[in-house]
Amino acid sequence: MTDNMHRLQSEFQTFLFSGRNEQELQTRIAESNDIPATARLAVYRNAYYIRLQEALAHDFPTLLAVAGDARFGKLSARFIRANPSRHPSLRDFGRALPGWLREGEEGDLAEVAALEWAVLEAFDAADHTPVAAEALAQVPPEEWEYLGFDFHPSVSLLKVSCNVRECWSVVRNDKGAVPALRDTEEERLVVWRAACGPAVQAIEPALFSALLGLKDGRRFGECCLQLAEQTSAEQAPAIAAQALALACNSGWITHIQHDTDQT
Amino acid sequence: MTQRVGTGFGLGLRPPFYQAAAAGEIPVDWFELISENFMVAGGNPLRILDAVAERYPIALHGVSMNLGGTDPLDKDYLQRLKALVARVEPVRVSDHLCWTRHGGHHLHDLLPLPYTEEAVSHVAQRIGIVQDVLQRRILIENVSSYAEFSQSSINESAFLAAVAEAADCHILLDVNNIVVSAHNHGFNAEAYLQDIPFDRVQQIHLAGHTVNEPLLIDTHDHPIADPVWELYRQTLHHLGAVPTMIERDDNIPPLTELLTELDEARQISQRALAA
């Protein structure tokens, strides 16, 4: 029924992606106004790449600033060829970019893209009301071991090993030239949506481990046991409690699971 | 069919104007929002959406429905659109007479269809599915095009009319797109209007374009050009009062400039109705 349309759209898409069948597609184009088919088709092919490159530049401004126009242009063109969009909205087009960078030749830029994607995800993550900071204080101490926690959907936890946060902050706050990307001591970051918009905060490694465990669904007691392996049995509960207090005070927790079932 | 829901003059809502629109500070009769920009889980976009919808009538305008594609219609997309419709209760819901996706890949462009009986039947059937899901008539918009296919058996305006009749849907007539396509393909823009079933036209788009000889490009980054204003006058002689709005997507000027353009549209409409 739609074989002709299907074939035509396949050919057109092949042209947009690669341009390799241009001569064949030109024979499909009606002649009018003395405008050559090659000029007509070029509008579509140029627009396809420009639109997707602009979407990436919009969503990854720090990556653009750090990589520079030339490198960003090349890597985004390669990404577009390797990852045709599978989403109705351009907002989602860059989802695969951090992973693609990590696995490819541009691995040094992967952490920049990962941070920017986490920020974008925080921006329009689902709305959930955080629990009040006082909510934990109302839980009897003997029940803490079995508490579980739902994190706000905007919260991401990232480890980075270069000055990504510094670069992001300079670009975000329009503070002039972005510094060069350089290796640093490993930094643990929390990205979330604060009242004023997406925020990025560095935290201590032990607190990060605790939050990672809790966010992965571990109960408070399990989290303490895990932390004890990294610190000590004496220190672990205090660190986990400190992480939890930070999470509650920052609005990262949306629900406390009061589950006394140890199985 | 001739009754039009809401008249007046609106703007396409773009990020620079989100806060002012959310506060109800922009003197327009309605706003058109890009549906896909608000198909998100939460955060600021939905806060803006709710605030604007509380203060103004909303028209939802999509760019990814893929009415002319041969991939199956995206059920998830339609359900998300349906949820958005339920949330803002828009006065109109529209998308484009084109294809945007193939083989599961979105092209993020409004790509041309062949103007054939096969395409009329195919697109009309898909519009019917969408209208069943949304439980309302949608508007389909004529797109700017830079290439037409030699297999076409009718012209663009007849194709638009045939699809709208076969699907029993409404039309969003983009006057700038007619001017752009008329230039690019050498047809008469006023003659285009003769084919349009005017009782189905529920909204008009005005926009600017870029002259990139030998083609005109539908860039929405310039003020509305004189040939577009002239065709708008001609269109209103046929249509009477129709909700009209300006699309500006790039090189966005201060709001006052867009409101001045919108005033010009308002005055043209008043003169056309008085004539």
Give the pLDDT confidence of B66-92 residue by residue, as tens digits.
999 999 999 999 999 999 999 999 999
User: Any CB–CB contact under 8 A between B111 and chain A?
Assistant: yes
Q: Above 80 in pLDDT, residue B152?
A: yes
Which residues in chain B have Cβ-Cβ distances shorter than 8 Å to A10? 102-103
CA A113/CA A109 separation, integer angstroms = 7
β B170-174/B201-207 pair status: parallel
What are φ and ψ of residue A162, in 5° steps?
A: -145, 180
In this predicted structure, what is the pLDDT of residue B106?
Answer: 98
Query: Does any CB of chain A come closer than 8 Å to the CB of residue B214?
Result: yes
Distant-in-sequence, close-in-space partners of A141: CB < 8 Å, separation ≥ 6: none
Q: Provide the percentage of residues in chain A whose pLDDT is more than 70.
A: 98
| β-bridge pairing B244-247 and B201-207 | parallel
Percent of chain B past pLDDT 90, that is, above it, reads 96
Q: Which of residues A96, A114, A149 is at a domain's end?
A: A96
Give residue A128's Cα distance to chain centre.
19
With beta carbons less than 8 A apart as the criterion, state whether B63 and B96 touch.
yes
Residues A52 and A182 occupy one common structural domain:
no
Tell me: do A7 and A136 sit in the same domain: no
Nearby residues of B267 by Cβ (< 8 Å), 6 or more positions away: none
Q: Which residues pair with B139 in a beta bridge?
A: B94, B170
Q: Are A135 and A222 in a shared domain?
A: yes
Cβ distance B102 to A87 less than 8 Å, yes or no, reads: no
CA angle A47, A30, B179 (to 5 degrees): 60
How would DSSP label each residue in B92-132?
EEEEESSEEEETTEEEEEEE----SHHHHHHHHHHHHHHHH
C-alpha separations of B255 from B18, B26, B28, B122, B264 in Å: 11, 9, 11, 41, 14
A40 touches chain B (CB under 8 A): yes
Q: Helix, strand or coil for residue B245?
A: strand
Residue A108 lies in a domain: no
List the 93-112 stretch of A: residues with Cβ below 8 A of B: 93
| Domain C-terminal end among A77, A96, A115 | A96
Distance CA A156, CA B38 (A): 22
Record: contact B103-A29, CB cut-off 8 A: no
* pLDDT score of A263 more than 50: no
Residue contact A13–B103, C-beta within 8 A: yes
CB B157 within 8 A of CB B192: yes
> Which residues have a Cβ under 8 Å from the Cβ of B39 and sit 6 or more positions away?
A88, A89, B77, B80, B81, B84
Residue A110 resides in a domain: no
Q: Is the pLDDT of residue A10 over 70?
A: yes
The pLDDT value recorded for residue A260 is 57
Is the CB of B151 less than 8 angstroms away from the CB of A5?
A: no
Instruction: Give me the mean pLDDT over the B152-160 stretch.
Output: 97
CA B106 to chain centre: 19
Q: What is the pLDDT of residues B23-77, one digit of tens each?
A: 999 999 999 999 999 999 999 999 999 999 999 999 999 999 999 999 999 999 9
Q: A122: nearest CA in chain B?
A: B43
Question: Do B214 and A34 lie within an 8 Å CB cutoff?
Answer: yes
What is the pLDDT of chain A when averaged over all its residues?
95
Q: Which residues of A touch B95 (CB under 8 A)?
A: none
A43/B146 CB distance under 8 A: yes
For residues B175 and B242, what is the distance between their CA atoms, to the nearest angstrom? 12
Same domain, A144 and A260: yes
How many domains does chain A contain in total? 2
Residue corresponding to tokens 């997406």: A198
Tens of pLDDT, residues B209-230: 999 999 999 999 999 999 999 9
Report how far apart the first and last C-alpha atoms of chain B are (Å, whole number): 24
Closest partner CB to A8 (pick from B149, B186, B217): B149
- Rounded Cα gap, residues B98 and B139, in angstroms: 13
Structure tokens belonging to residue B229? 């204003």
Residue B165 pLDDT > 70: yes
Q: Would you say residue A125 has pLDDT above 90? A: yes
ipTM of the modeled complex: 0.95
Chain A residues near residue B146 by CB distance under 8 angstroms: 40-41, 43-44
- Residue B107, chain A, CB below 8 Å: the answer is yes
Chain B: residue whose CA lies nearest to A4: B118
Total-model pTM: 0.95
* In a shared domain, residues A146 and A53: no
Q: Is B275 on the interface with A (CB under 8 A)?
A: no
Does a structural domain hold residue A113?
no
Domain assignment present for A79? yes
CB proximity list for B173: less than 8 A, separation 6 or greater: B141, B142, B196, B201, B203, B204, B205, B235, B242
Please judge whether B70 and A40 are an interchain contact, meaning their C-beta atoms are less than 8 angstroms apart.
no
Residue from A5, A38, A152 whose CB has the most chain B CBs within 10 Å, to mutate: A5
In a domain, A118, yes or no: no
Q: Do B149 and A32 touch (CB under 8 A)?
A: no
* Residue B224 identity (one-letter amino acid): I
Q: Is residue A111 part of a domain?
A: no
Do residues A211 and A133 share a domain? yes
| Shared domain check, A50 and A141 | no
As a whole number, mean pLDDT of residues A120-149 equals 92
Q: Does A44 touch chain B (CB under 8 A)?
A: yes
A77 and A165 both lie in a single domain: no
Q: Which residues of B touch A86 (CB under 8 A)?
A: 104-106
Q: Would A104 be classed as within a structural domain?
A: no
Residues A130, A83 share a domain? no
A135 and A60, same domain (yes or no): no
Mutation test of the interface with chain A: which of B101, B109, B120, choosing the one with the most A Cβ atoms within 10 A? B109
- Yes or no, beta carbons of B39 and A32 under 8 Å apart: no
Question: By residue range, what is the domain housing residue A205?
Answer: 125-263
Q: Looking at chain A, which residue has its C-alpha nearest residue B68? A: A5
Is residue A119 in a domain?
Answer: no
- The gap from C-alpha A44 to its chain's centroid, in whole angstroms, comes to 29
pLDDT of B1 higher than 60: no
Between vectors from CA A167 to CA A56 and to CA A177, what angle results, nearest 5°?
A: 90
pLDDT, tens digit (0-9, with 9 covering 90-100), for A215-261: 999 999 999 999 999 889 899 999 999 999 999 999 999 999 987 55
Show residues of chain A in contact with B113, CB under 8 Å. 5
Q: Is B43 on the interface with A (CB under 8 A)?
A: yes
How far apart, in Å, do the first and last CA atoms of chain A sit? Answer: 58
- Count Cα neighbours of B252 within 13 Å in the Cβ-side half-sphere: 14
* A134 confidence band (pLDDT: 50, 70, 90): confident
In A, which residues are within 8 Å of B155 by CB distance? none
For the cut 50, the answer to whether the pLDDT of residue B126 exceeds it is yes
Per-residue confidence (pLDDT) for residue B3, from 0 to 100: 56
Residues A36-52 have pLDDT tens digits of 999 999 999 999 999 99
Please check whether residues A61 and A3 belong to one and the same domain. Answer: yes
Of the candidates A103, A102, A96, A101, the residue with the CA atom closest to the CA atom of residue A117? A96
Q: How far apart are CA A25 and CA A42, in angstroms?
A: 12
For residues A203 and A85, state if they share a domain: no
Residue in chain B closest to A47 (alpha carbons) equals B109
